[in-house]
Amino acid sequence: MTSRSVVIYSSWLLASCATARPHNLLSKYLFFSPLLPGLSVPKGRDGLMGIYNGEEFVFEESSWTLWNYVKMFWNYGLNALRMTMWVEEVLDKFISIYRYQAHDFAFSSSEALLHALGGAAFMQMLNQTIEESMQEAGFSQKFIREIVTPVMRVNYGQGVGINGFVGAVSLAGAGSGLWSVEGGNKLVCVGLLYASKAQPIPSTVISVEETTRPRGRSGETMKLYQVTYNSTFGVTSDLYDIIVMATPLHRKIANITFRNFKPPIPEFSKPYQEIVATFVHGNINTSFFGYPDPSTFQLSAIFTMENPKLFVNSIGVVSPVEDKAKAAEGSPVWKVFSARPLTKAQLDVLFSSYDSVESKPWLAYPHYSPPEQCPPLVIHDHVYYVNSIECLASAMEMSAISAKNAALLAHHRWYDRTDKIDQEDLHEKLKTEL
Ligand SMILES: Cc1cc2nc3c(=O)[nH]c(=O)nc-3n(C[C@H](O)[C@H](O)[C@H](O)COP(=O)(O)OP(=O)(O)OC[C@H]3O[C@@H](n4cnc5c(N)ncnc54)[C@H](O)[C@@H]3O)c2cc1C
Ligand SMILES: CC(C)=CCC/C(C)=C/CC/C(C)=C/CSC[C@H](N)C(=O)O
């Protein structure tokens, strides 16, 4: 491509290089991608998990794997095994995206991308709740209430009213086989940014404006986009042919104005779910969870069911801890997710002792409310919106896929390669090609 293009802001074909959402705090990511050379996986410890209903634990893992299978079967019959198979079936279809992208196929909307991977079944998942999807697939209400709901609460801060597709992604995120990068997931982005030879301009974009400029002396004009941004050198403007927006276009996240577009760019931002992550270095109050003797409390992750009395979504030990001083001391660092900031009184209930508390509110991911209508991927002739994909499911890998799709789409639209956009039956077409 000979045109000038700009990616606002994180990620040059990669999402999640961000400072907005927590590259260092993200525990698990890049589900299918291999690690880049020179990067390693941190040696953390996976602990035991319990599911708390506000009064007692309805399920507690033990260190004896076989016993866990027996307990799962006793409580939920074959639901757990069937769920693993159900999620794998969804993921098997989903990973076709890597083949399609390897053959340079692109999609002009998030819905078209989802449809190409899983047809009407995936569209139905998008348009109904995970509860409805799982009920239709024959899962029991007890299993949905006690296992599925807590997973949705820890991953998306919402219940089983979220759409079926993001629900399946969330269940995949609760499985094994996920990993993070030693030193922070941002290292993936740092390495790829370096390899791409892109020239980042650290700045805050204020506005994007459609503008015209004379093309040579012919009197003809050409359309361009003027990006105005604030950097350490003050407010500056540059002209671009193609723009890729890689941040949620939500006024409280990225307050960017679209000027002079005819017709005007409508407001399509969706509500985002606020979630507070609180990191506490201290000892959990085991009595609160029904264990008066702390030495008998083995859990390092507590998931919660829906209960209006509960003021936390989840509590888990952070492992490993990078802060050497904290790691060397006896007590762990706990990560608490809650809908609202924790008060001192709530912290005093949850922890028997603590010496530091750090809290960070996030506008973390969309507030899902199926049936979903995704924001457009093509906002204007040559303006693309990577974060449209978050309406299907918000996760680092989803942003990376969407970023690659936006790059392919921008290329094909620039060169009029319609044969590479929104093609039907790719599965069949690629079968015969191989
Ligand atoms: C607490 C928490 C835990 C999570 N855990 C996981 C996990 O374990 N695994 C997982 O896959 N996902 C996880 N996620 C979701 C994940 O963070 C997002 O899906 C991912 O960050 C999306 O990446 P992105 O690059 O599309 O957007 P973002 O990460 O939001 O990046 C947008 C970037 O744009 C920049 N920006 C915004 N406005 C402007 C402007 N006007 N000018 C210039 N730059 C601007 C921001 O500073 C930021 O760098 C988690 C999210 C939260 C909040
Ligand atoms: C995109 C696919 C197929 C899989 C991604 C699965 C995944 C990692 C989902 C979780 C995404 C998410 C928004 C997690 C938020 S919080 C949970 C996190 N594990 C934490 O404890 O910080």
Angle at 50 between CA 162 and CA 73, to 5 degrees: 85
Going by CA atoms, what residue is nearest to atom 5 of ligand 1?
26
Of 12, 16, 402, the one to substitute when testing ligand 1's pocket (max ligand atoms within 8 A of C-beta) is: 16
Going by CA atoms, what residue is nearest to atom 12 of ligand 2?
155
Going by CA atoms, what residue is nearest to atom 46 of ligand 1?
20
User: Would you state the pLDDT for residue 322?
Assistant: 77
Interatomic CA distance for residues 228 and 81, integer angstroms: 53
- Using one digit for the tens of pLDDT, what is the confidence trace for 19-70? 346 554 444 444 445 556 788 888 877 789 999 999 999 999 999 999 999 9
Going by CA atoms, what residue is nearest to atom 21 of ligand 2?
27
User: Would you state the pLDDT for residue 176?
Assistant: 78
How many C-beta atoms lie closer than 10 Å to residue 252's C-beta? 10
Going by CA atoms, what residue is nearest to atom 9 of ligand 2?
173
φ/ψ (deg, to 5) at 109: -150, 160
User: Would you state the pLDDT for residue 36?
Assistant: 65
Q: 């990577």: which residue's tokens?
A: 386
> Among 25-39, 249-263, 337-351, 395-409, where is mean pLDDT lowest?
25-39
Of 25, 27, 28, the one to substitute when testing ligand 2's pocket (max ligand atoms within 8 A of C-beta) is: 28
- Using one digit for the tens of pLDDT, what is the confidence trace for 240-294? 999 999 999 999 999 999 999 988 998 888 899 999 999 999 999 999 999 999 9
One-letter amino acid at 115 equals: H
Ligand nearest to the CA of 389: 1
243 lines ligand 2 (CB under 6 A): no
Measured from the Cα of 94, ligand 2's closest atom is 3
What distances in angstroms separate CA 135 from CA 57, 84, 100, 125, 159, one per listed residue? 24, 15, 31, 12, 15
Ligand nearest to the CA of 87: 2
Interatomic CA distance for residues 230 and 235, integer angstroms: 4
Measured from the Cα of 401, ligand 2's closest atom is 1
| Ligand 1 center to 401 CA (angstroms) | 14
Going by CA atoms, what residue is nearest to atom 2 of ligand 2?
169
**Of 4 and 269, the one with more pLDDT:** 269
Give burial (CB, 10 Å; 0-12/13-18/19+) of 15: buried
Share of the chain above pLDDT 70, in %: 91
User: Would you state the pLDDT for residue 327?
Assistant: 72
DSSP string, 117-177: HHHHHHHHHHHSBHHHHHHHTT--HHHIIIIIHHHHHHHHSS-TTSBHHHHHHHHHHTSSS
| Ligand 2 center to 95 CA (angstroms) | 16
Measured from the Cα of 28, ligand 1's closest atom is 8
Measured from the Cα of 247, ligand 1's closest atom is 32
User: Would you state the pLDDT for residue 269?
Assistant: 82
| Ligand 2 center to 174 CA (angstroms) | 8
> Among 4-8, 202-206, 208-212, 366-370, where is mean pLDDT lowest?
4-8
Are 49 and 299 in contact by the 8 Å Cβ rule? The answer is: yes
User: Would you state the pLDDT for residue 200?
Assistant: 92
- 3-state helix vs strand vs coil in the chain, percent to 5: 35, 25, 40
Mean predicted confidence (pLDDT) in 318-347: 89
Are 419 and 127 in contact by the 8 Å Cβ rule? The answer is: no
| Ligand 2 center to 182 CA (angstroms) | 17
Coil, helix or strand for 434?
A: coil
Confidence tier at 219 by pLDDT (50, 70, 90):
confident
Q: In the sheet where 351-366 sits, what is the strand order?
A: 57-60, 48-52, 299-304, 314-317, 333-338, 272-284, 351-366
420 lines ligand 2 (CB under 6 A): no
Coil, helix or strand for 357?
A: strand
365 lines ligand 2 (CB under 6 A): yes
ipTM above 0.90, yes or no: yes
Are 318 and 332 in contact by the 8 Å Cβ rule? The answer is: yes
Residue 145 token pair: 């209430």
Is the model's pLDDT at 157 over the cut of 60? Answer: yes
398 lines ligand 2 (CB under 6 A): yes
* Cβ neighbours of residue 416 closer than 8 Å, sequence gap 6 or more: none
| Ligand 2 center to 131 CA (angstroms) | 19
How many C-beta atoms lie closer than 10 Å to residue 201's C-beta? 15
Ligand nearest to the CA of 170: 2
The beta-strand segments (E) located in 215-271 are 221-231, 234-240, 242-246, 257-259
389 lines ligand 2 (CB under 6 A): no
How many C-beta atoms lie closer than 10 Å to residue 416's C-beta? 8
Mean predicted confidence (pLDDT) in 405-428: 96
Measured from the Cα of 22, ligand 2's closest atom is 22
Residue 362 C-alpha from the chain's centroid: 13
- Using one digit for the tens of pLDDT, what is the confidence trace for 58-103? 999 999 999 999 999 999 999 999 999 999 999 999 999 999 999 9
Going by CA atoms, what residue is nearest to atom 32 of ligand 1?
247
> Among 159-173, 310-324, 390-404, where is mean pLDDT lowest?
310-324
